[in-house]
Amino acid sequence: MPQTYAIGIEFIGTNYRGWQRQEEVIGVQAVIEYALTRIANEPIELIAAGRTDAGVHAGNMIAHFCTHANRTPYNWLRGANSLLPDDIALRWLVPMPSDFHARFSAIARRYRYITLNQPYRPALLHHQVTHEFAPLDIQSMIAASQQLVGTHDFSSFRAAACQSNQPIRTVSHADLFMQGAYLVLDIQADGFLHHMVRNIMGTLFAIGRGEMSVDELMPLMHAKNRSLAPPTAAADGLYFINAYYPEKFQKLLPKLPLTPLWLNLP
């Protein structure tokens, strides 16, 4: 029987057209599959907990693959990382039960959106954070973000190309806070629609700039109409940071600090 492995991946998504393997453009999935196939000497198909958009990053994307190849975790990691480009790295690899599935076993997914709110644009963090040069009304943005918690129809924050069967999602937390000059949205839900986090952040930016009031958020949600919402926020600041599983699987997965380290703040 083939062995199932779970892996944790970090990547800078700037140079890729998202996670998913595609015919004419480069996705993160295909790059890692190529490396693992070289190590295994057999075709490897990789399945991730979520599918990130073009330009979106990951601190701990969880994925799985099955293989007949007999390699140690050390050899999988060292071999794959020696073949991967500098902007993709495997952080860990562990054997898992055969019924583990990175996508379908997941019960929650978590993202962070990082905004650098200062007058001058960043150089060292170019494409790794979103830059907002004007002062923002942070308290109004925090008040608005708390209204997202619970079970809602998120059609107003759903991209036109979204392929999900239904738009209802349950958000367990949507915490917005400042850490120095960084504005962080930490949001976790049972699942996310296409562009959902970026569309939510675009609306929070509109509230922070005074273009929209906190009281307008829930009517916008109830309208179930994407065309009424503000523009989508940039992909640069968005990070997939974790997926969560039932305890029988979760206890087998490593608990490591995220990189960049400021993804762990506060």
Query: In DSSP terms, which residues pair with 4 in a beta bridge?
Result: 66, 96
**SS3 call for 221:** helix
Please write down the HEC assignment for all residues of 153-205: ECHHHCCCCCCCCCCEEEEEEEEEEEECCEEEEEEEECCCCCCHHHHHHHHHH
Q: Are 208 and 133 in contact (CB under 8 A)?
A: no
Active-site option among 53, 87, 175, 186? 53
> Which pairs from 18-22 meet CB under 8 Å and 24+ separation?
18/51, 18/52, 18/53, 18/54, 18/55, 18/56, 19/48, 19/50, 19/51, 19/52, 19/61, 20/51
Closest CA to 140 of 240, 32, 216, 196: 216
Is 53 a known active-site residue? yes
CA dist 12 and 28 (Å) reads 9
Nearest to 207 by CA among 107, 118, 137, 135: 137
Supply φ then ψ for residue 240, to 5 degrees: -80, 120
Catalytic positions, please? 53
